Each structure stands twice: as structure tokens, then as C-alpha cells.
Structure 1
Amino acid sequence: MEKIRAFIEEQFLIEYDESFPEDTNLFKEGVMDSFGYVQLCRFLEQEYGFRFTEAEMTGNVLVSLTQIRDFVARKTAPTASSGN
């Protein structure tokens, strides 16, 4: 998950620290706009091998590093059953 932090810091020219915690809303702080959001989503799809649904893309769930990590963990977690 450190790749996500490194991507955000490099892509959006920020550094997470005590004055800019990982739960900071990147949109509200003016760090990320809609174009940056699409870039982030594409990076996550390529890096972690999943696809966003339309609802996930437009649901605006990925506004902080904390939320992004939680989302990726859920998307990449093995499913409990295969339908039987």
C-alpha cells in the first residue's frame, strides 16, 4: 500500500506528515481535481488488477489516502464464497 502513498505524493506534489495527515480530503484541500482522480483510479486499476464499476468511479469514495487504502483492501480481498 506504500505505492499508493508514493503515487499520490509524486503525482500531486504533496508530502504526508503531521500537518497533512493521511485522512486529509484531497479534493477539499485543492490537491486533486477530477482529472487527477481519473489518473489515480487508472493507477489503482493497473497496479492492483481490478476494475472500477461506474458507481465506484462516481461515488467519490476516494477522497483521502486512508479511504483509498481501505477501498483497495476491499477490492483485492479474496471473496468468502464462490456462489455455492
Structure 2
Amino acid sequence: MQEPKAVVRRFLLDNFVMGSDADIADDTSFMKEHILDSTGFIELVTFLEESFGIVIDNDEMLPENLDSLLNIELYLSRRLAAAEGSGGTTGAGGGHNG
């Protein structure tokens, strides 16, 4: 299995960045650099939930968690480690999203 950062980078490059030689630096802000708008951000959240089997609660949809590849990598490592430690539950606080 590919590392999460590589999976997310490929998703962003395939869906939001134009140009075959384009890349996204690990610390690039998706919003400040206009890689994602609000609709793209929701698409990213849906992709993360489906790809990694997690539920991202509304209060977790913060730049500190999801606005760069580094932030996503750290967020996913915390979430996936917590899921392993709790017997596989990947939703934060009961798994209700909203």
C-alpha cells in the first residue's frame, strides 16, 4: 500500500492541478495557492473518508488538519493510530458527521 501522502498527492494532481509536470510541495497550502476551492475541499474530505475508512467530523475540517499534504499526513497518522488503539473505530466521538 502506498503511503497516505502519496495517495493524496496523486488525487490532487489528477483532479485539481493542470499540467503534466505539475507537483505539489508537502507544505503548500491548498487554499492559499488556490488548488482547492470550497467544493474541492469537500471532494478532498470525501476522498479521505472513502480511501482511509475514516469519518471526518465537521470540527476536524480545519487548515491545521487538511490544508497541506504535511497536515493531512499528520492528521491521518493520528486518526489511523487512534483507530488501531481503539479496536478499529475510525470515527471521532461516535462517528456522527454533523
TM over 0.5: yes
Distance in 1, matches of 2:42 and 2:69, equals 15
Residue 73 of structure 2 aligns with which residue?
Answer: 69
Larger mean Cα displacement after TM superposition, 62-71 or 37-46: 62-71
Give the TM-score of the pair, scaled to structure 1.
0.80
Identity within the alignment, %: 30
Output the aligned Cα RMSD.
Answer: 1.8
SS at match of 2:85: coil
1:80 to partner: Cα distance: 6.9
Unmatched 5+ residue regions in structure 2? 88-98
Name the structure 1 match of 2:85.
Answer: 79
Deviations 1:9-52 (A, max 9, x none): 11111532xxx521011100111111101000000000000101
Matched with 1:56 is 60
Cα deviation, residue 79, structure 1: 2.1
Tell me, which stretches of 5 or more residues in structure 1 are unaligned?
A: none
Decide which moves more: 67-76 or 7-16: 7-16
The number of residue pairs the alignment matches comes to 77
TM-score, with structure 2 as normaliser: 0.69
